[in-house]
Amino acid sequence: MRIIAGSAGGRRLFSPAKQKRNLIRPTSDRAREALFNIISNKVNGARVLDLFAGTGALGLEALSRGAESCLAIDNNKEALRLIRANSKACNFADKFTLVKRDLRKGLGFLHSFKRKPGFSLIFLDPPYNKELSIKLLKELASGGFTARGAAVIIEEDEKVNLPDRAGCLSLHDKRIYGGTGFWFYTGN
């Protein structure tokens, strides 16, 4: 696993041990590269929110490609260790904030991190098939966390049904890589 492009391009990232892969499911380099090709115009200068950050690879890739800042959230002890190691390896300490939080309890805590105009690029990669995608998508849409024109990308099992619309967020694309689906929402 590595950073694909930008200022930290080629940098190797720490990934979970094989026995931990059922708890931490990193987005593959190939899928991450395809994802960032699709959202390339949304990355430069973005305020990134990486929910269920895992290894931190999505947020770190965004920083490498010119994002302004990244707030990464996870609750898993091993994920937190990996995220810290990867953010240090990429030298983004000044732009990267890591918070330990159980996202199953909702996003209310984000109000203390919210500032105008909101997050402009949001990654949501919860455990598959737990109905967290739809719950947190609705909270993002109603909580005032998204900037106007924000991009919200959900990574979930390809068979999950997510709505075409959630509050101010509209689905504009869906892609499948392997058994993984990526839903691309845009804020109004």
Over residues 103-126, the pLDDT tens digits come to 999 999 998 887 778 899 999 999
Report which of residues 143 and 136 the model is more confident about. 136
> What does pLDDT average to over the chain?
93
Which pTM was predicted? 0.95
Tell me: pLDDT of 169 over 90. yes
Across the range 39-57, mean pLDDT stands at 96
H helices within 50-131, ranges in order?
57-64, 77-89
Q: How does 74-88 read in b/e, with b if 16+ C-beta sit within 10 Å?
A: bebebbbebbbebbe
8 Å CB contact between 169 and 140: yes
β-pairing, 180-187 vs 69-74, is unpaired
8 Å CB contact between 8 and 92: yes
- Three-state SS string over 118-179 comes to CEEEEEECCCCCCCHHHHHHHHHHHCCCEEEEEEEEEEEECCCCCCCEECCEEEEEEEEECC
DSSP 8-state class, residue 26: P
Q: Give the 3-state secondary structure of residue 37.
A: helix
Handedness of CA 162, 74, 17, 87 (dihedral sign): positive
Listed by start position, the domains of the chain span: 18-187
CATH class of 18-187: alpha beta
Looking at residue 26, what is its pLDDT?
A: 84
Handedness of CA 78, 43, 184, 38 (dihedral sign): negative
Q: CA–CA separation, 61 vs 32, rounded Å?
A: 8
Q: Six-digit token pair at 30?
A: 């190939």
Could you tell me what percent of the chain has a pLDDT over 90? 82
Looking at residue 28, what is its pLDDT?
A: 85
Q: Six-digit token pair at 119?
A: 């997050």
Q: What angle do CA 173, 120, 31 make, to 5 degrees?
A: 45
